[in-house]
Amino acid sequence: MPNVFFPRRSTTQGRRFNRRTVLTLLAATPVILSSAARAQQSRPIRVGILSGEDEDIWNIVQENARTAGLAIEAIPFSEGTPINAALAAGDLDANAFQHGPYLQAQNTALGAHIVPVGNTYFAPVGFYSKKWTSLSALPQGATIGVPADPTNEGRALKLLQSLGLLKIATVPDGMPTALDIAENPKSLTIKELDDPVLARSLPDLDAGVVITEWAYKAGIDLNKERLARESMENNPYINFIAVNENNAHAAWIQPLVKAFQQPNVREKLLEAYHGAIIPSWS
């Protein structure tokens, strides 16, 4: 899902951390802790996030948590794989940057047991063009860019299928690639590109399915240049906070999730991404 992008505060990357349980009070929903639990609060909860706008979001989350008595340190990374690797190794307590299919692939690749514990936001992939203003205007033989990684390429192809531009075969893992296109009535040329390259290459393509974060960073107009985007309804690509399975029921999980799922975080998400990212909790 994520790819390389240089963080604002790169000095935080590469650290290694020990994990201890952190217990605290939640302001909105008070939690009474035992004296033994309070004694375990020896350091902040370390949360791996992606660098960029999410750092601004987590500044607010950290303040929410601080008000409730929970210390959080958000650690920005330039890409996603090291975040999961650090969490699996115990160098982080949690992370917040990914959706279900990406985590499933990462758990398999890393031999990890990372699980979601609370929704954060939905970043619908968009179908963008700097050359055409509608789906009907796309020419026969148009060149369409899609993400190169298997998880998001499958997501992009499913969006194109939902728009009636092609049909894809059913594949066992649910992550089709361009090789699984069964019908291509407009003779589209599918070009697989890494996320940041895809976003920057949009002027050279007829259109592209671009991850919201990279579209934003590349200066794509998320409204005027968007031909279509995903719906959140019944969508497996909702992002969440994730932890190692053995921490899934730790006492600090609920306060951590509640610190994110607050009105001021919702407001900041909508402001920072100009409505392109949608809060995904009720």
Please give the residue that has the higher pLDDT: either 29 or 225.
225
Of 136, 158, 135, 164, whose CA–CA distance to 146 is shortest? 158
- As a whole number, mean pLDDT of residues 86-91 equals 97
Residue 204 has pLDDT above 80, yes or no: yes
Q: Identify whether the C-beta of residue 24 lies closer than 8 Å to the C-beta of residue 255.
A: yes
pLDDT tens-digit readout, 161-174: 999 999 999 998 88
Against a cut of 0.85, is the pTM above it? no
Task: Return mean pLDDT, the chain.
Answer: 86
pLDDT category at 37 given cuts 50, 70, 90 is: very low
Q: Identify whether the C-beta of residue 94 lies closer than 8 Å to the C-beta of residue 242.
A: yes
DSSP string for 83-146: HHHHHHTTS-SEEEEEEHHHHHHHHHHHT--EEEEEEEEE---EEE-SS-SSGGGPPTT-EEEE
Beta bridge mates, 75 = 48
Q: According to CATH, where is 3.40.190.10 located in the chain? A: 10-123+236-279, 126-229
Residue 122 has pLDDT above 70, yes or no: yes
Q: What percent of the chain has pLDDT over 70?
A: 85
Q: Given this model, what pLDDT does residue 138 score? A: 97
Residue 1 has pLDDT above 90, yes or no: no
Of 34-43, 115-124, 217-226, the range with the lowest mean pLDDT is 34-43
Nearest-10 Cα torsion for 278, 98, 63, 94: 150
Q: Given this model, what pLDDT does residue 216 score? A: 83
- The radius of gyration of the chain from alpha carbons, rounded to an integer in Å, stands at 20
- CATH class in words for 10-123+236-279: alpha beta
- As a whole number, mean pLDDT of residues 26-51 equals 58
d(CA 72, CA 169): 44
Residue with tokens 């963008």: 128
Q: Is 221 exposed, middle or buried (0-12, 13-18, 19+ CB in 10 A)?
A: exposed
Residue 272 has pLDDT above 90, yes or no: no
Residue 182 has pLDDT above 90, yes or no: yes
Q: Given this model, what pLDDT does residue 149 score? A: 87
Q: Given this model, what pLDDT does residue 150 score? A: 81
pLDDT category at 175 given cuts 50, 70, 90 is: confident
Q: Given this model, what pLDDT does residue 30 score? A: 35
Residue 243 has pLDDT above 80, yes or no: yes
164: left (phi over 0), alpha (psi -120 to 50) or beta: left
Of 30-39, 95-104, 148-157, 183-192, the range with the lowest mean pLDDT is 30-39
Beta bridge mates, 241 = 96, 118
Residue 217 has pLDDT above 90, yes or no: no
Q: Given this model, what pLDDT does residue 24 score? A: 33
Residue 209 has pLDDT above 70, yes or no: yes
d(CA 157, CA 152): 9
Residue 137 has pLDDT above 50, yes or no: yes
Q: What is the CATH code of the structural domain delimited by 126-229?
A: 3.40.190.10
